[in-house]
């Protein structure tokens, strides 16, 4: 493995690439948590990004690609290796086909489409983060997810740029093929929308945003839901029979129900807190760290496992924790 000074030297020869040494990742995470990365690099230039990825890979160091950091838990020790971010954020459309680059904020794409009377993303208003990560994780809310609109995804597979149609992306609830191929990096996505009155779309988006801002105040240091919801039909019969019908929504059981049953609401550890109105919402009150956060998550998983024999699965992604997370 080459030294990171040598890697930095090689990276510095790539045009349009911003390079930062020992950059605190807490600056890039909504939790406001995370130690330094050896190197943090970003660019809006696709060729430069590919070159930086190649350099990172050849260096033998670990590397990870991040978006807006709204779904990440970065360790207190930070990340030994290279953090990369693709920042191109162009959004454009021809008739009802929209193309958005991965570095655009999902909210910017929602606003762009709503203003132009293009229906399909309005229920995703208020979901923070980048558009690329939204496709990667098949983000969604209020009964819809991004997969319903994706026509094709352009990505780099480590060797070449490829294009996948919707079926090839293998979307499921908060899943896509990109989650299973961490070295595939999404550059841009084409969406198929429908024409609709802009005022009507705006009314829906504004209504949803008002509710969301109450649940997740914009200043709250959190990752939204920590755990994925569970699909009712996939639960063992002895668990299914214990779930009250009233909590099931669109065939899913909110993990918040299991968490509430094991006393998660209002739990506190150091600067980390579970919201007292929502058992699947864990936030940093200020001064919290990743160690405390991980302990709360592990404690909740253990309690649910013991009570229900179920393993809750995190929706959040870990960075810089040995053996888990997207570090390659
Ligand atoms: C208050 C709040 C509310 C939320 N509500 C919702 C919700 O209602 N529904 C929902 O689905 N999510 C929700 N989330 C979670 C989060 O917003 C989404 O997961 C979002 O898509 C993450 O985007 P990001 O850019 O911040 O990604 P990051 O957190 O930076 O990264 C997440 C993952 O995406 C990968 N990634 C990033 N960019 C790319 C790329 N270009 N190509 C390939 N992989 C990439 C990273 O490697 C990482 O594994 C919420 C989060 C918060 C803080």
Kindly give the distance from the C-alpha atom of residue 248 to the centroid of ligand 1, in angstroms, as a whole number: 24
Query: Tens of pLDDT along 236-281?
Result: 999 999 999 999 988 999 999 999 999 999 999 999 999 999 999 9
Q: Is any ligand 1 atom within 6 A of the Cβ of residue 281?
A: no
Could you tell me how far CA 287 lies from the centroid of its own chain? Answer: 23
Beta bridge partners of 156: 161, 185
Query: Tens of pLDDT along 279-294?
Result: 999 999 999 999 999 9
Beta bridge partners of 119: 194
Query: Of all protein residues, whose CA lies closest to atom 14 belonging to ligand 1?
Result: 224
Is residue 226 over pLDDT 90? yes
Share the mean pLDDT of the chain: 95
Q: How far apart are CA 193 and CA 196, in angstroms?
A: 9
Query: Of all protein residues, whose CA lies closest to atom 36 belonging to ligand 1?
Result: 133
Please say whether the beta carbons of 235 and 256 come within 8 A. no
Query: Tens of pLDDT along 306-317?
Result: 999 999 999 999
pLDDT of res. 327: 38
Q: Max CA-CA distance within the chain? A: 61
pLDDT of res. 4: 81
pLDDT of res. 322: 72
Higher pLDDT, 57 or 327: 57
Q: How far apart are CA 240 and CA 251, in angstroms?
A: 11
Dig out the tokens for 181 from the structure. Answer: 């191929």
295-318 average pLDDT score: 96
Q: What sign for the dihedral angle of Cα 252, 257, 259, 265?
A: positive
| Atom of ligand 1 at shortest range from CA of 106 | 21
Of the candidates 5, 33, 1, 32, the one whose C-alpha atom is nearest the C-alpha of residue 19 is 5
Query: Tens of pLDDT along 168-199?
Result: 999 998 999 999 998 899 999 999 999 999 99
Q: How far apart are CA 300 and CA 183, in angstroms?
A: 31
Q: How far apart are CA 155 and CA 186, in angstroms?
A: 4
Q: What sign for the dihedral angle of Cα 279, 301, 253, 124?
A: positive
DSSP reduced 3-state for 301:
helix
Using CB atoms within 10 Å of the CB of residue 280, give its burial: 0 to 12 exposed, 13 to 18 middle, 19+ buried: buried
pLDDT of res. 173: 87
Q: Is any ligand 1 atom within 6 A of the Cβ of residue 37?
A: no
Q: Which of 90-104, 107-121, 211-225 shows the lowest per-residue confidence on average (mean pLDDT)?
A: 211-225
Contacts of 269 (CB under 8 A, 6+ apart): 292, 295, 296, 299
Q: What is the pTM of this model?
A: 0.94
pLDDT of res. 182: 85
Q: How confident is the model at residue 3 (pLDDT cuts 50, 70, 90)?
A: confident
Is residue 324 over pLDDT 70? no
Task: Supply the residues annotated as catalytic.
Answer: 174, 225, 315
Query: Tens of pLDDT along 116-159?
Result: 999 999 999 999 999 999 999 999 999 899 999 999 999 999 99
Kindly give the distance from the C-alpha atom of residue 135 to the centroid of ligand 1, in angstroms, as a whole number: 9
Dig out the tokens for 4 from the structure. Answer: 């990171």
pLDDT of res. 27: 95
pLDDT of res. 328: 36
Is residue 98 over pLDDT 70? yes
Number of Cβ atoms within 10 Å of the Cβ of 249: 11
Of the candidates 14, 21, 28, 220, the one whose C-alpha atom is nearest the C-alpha of residue 130 is 28
Of the candidates 30, 22, 28, the one whose C-alpha atom is nearest the C-alpha of residue 288 is 30
pLDDT of res. 23: 94
DSSP class of residue 105 equals B
- The CA dihedral of 11, 13, 17, 21, to the nearest 10 degrees, is 40
> Among 28, 37, 64, 67, which residue has the most ligand 1 atoms within 8 Å of its CB, making it the best to mutate?
67
Please say whether the beta carbons of 75 and 320 come within 8 A. yes
pLDDT of res. 5: 86
pLDDT of res. 300: 98
Q: How far apart are CA 6 and CA 19, in angstroms?
A: 13
pLDDT of res. 2: 84
Q: How far apart are CA 275 and CA 41, in angstroms?
A: 34
């Amino acid at each position: 493995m080459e030294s990171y000074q040598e890697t930095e030297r090689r990276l510095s020869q790539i045009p349009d690439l911003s390079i930062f040494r020992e950059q605190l990742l807490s600056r890039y995470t909504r939790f406001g948590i995370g130690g330094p990365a050896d190197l943090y690099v970003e660019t809006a230039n696709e060729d430069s990004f590919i070159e930086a990825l190649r350099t990172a890979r050849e260096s033998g160091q670990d590397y990870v690609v991040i978006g807006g950091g709204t779904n990440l838990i970065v360790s207190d020790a930070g990340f030994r290796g290279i953090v990369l971010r693709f920042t191109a954020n162009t959004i454009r459309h021809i008739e009802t086909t929209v193309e958005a680059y991965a570095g655009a904020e999902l909210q910017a794409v929602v606003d762009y489409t709503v203003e132009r009377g293009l229906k399909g993303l309005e229920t995703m208003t208020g979901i923070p983060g980048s558009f690329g990560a939204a496709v990667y994780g098949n983000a969604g809310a209020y009964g819809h997810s991004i997969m319903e609109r994706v026509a094709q995804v352009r990505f780099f597979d480590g060797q070449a740029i490829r294009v996948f149609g919707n079926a090839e992306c293998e979307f499921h609830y908060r899943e896509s093929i990109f989650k299973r191929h961490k070295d595939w990096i999404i550059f841009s996505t084409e969406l198929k929308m429908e024409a609709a009155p802009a005022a009507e779309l705006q009314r829906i988006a504004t209504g949803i945003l008002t509710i969301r801002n109450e649940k997740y105040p914009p200043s709250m240091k959190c990752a939204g839901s920590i755990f994925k919801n569970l699909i009712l039909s996939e639960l063992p019969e002895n668990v299914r029979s214990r779930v009250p019908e009233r909590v099931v929504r669109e065939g899913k059981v909110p993990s918040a129900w299991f968490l509430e049953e094991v006393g998660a609401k209002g739990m506190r550890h150091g600067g980390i807190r579970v919201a007292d109105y929502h058992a699947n919402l864990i936030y940093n009150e200020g001064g919290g760290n990743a160690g405390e956060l991980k302990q709360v998550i592990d404690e909740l998983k253990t309690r649910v496992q013991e009570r229900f024999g179920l393993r809750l699965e995190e929706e959040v992604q870990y960075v810089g924790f040995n053996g888990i997370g997207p570090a390659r």
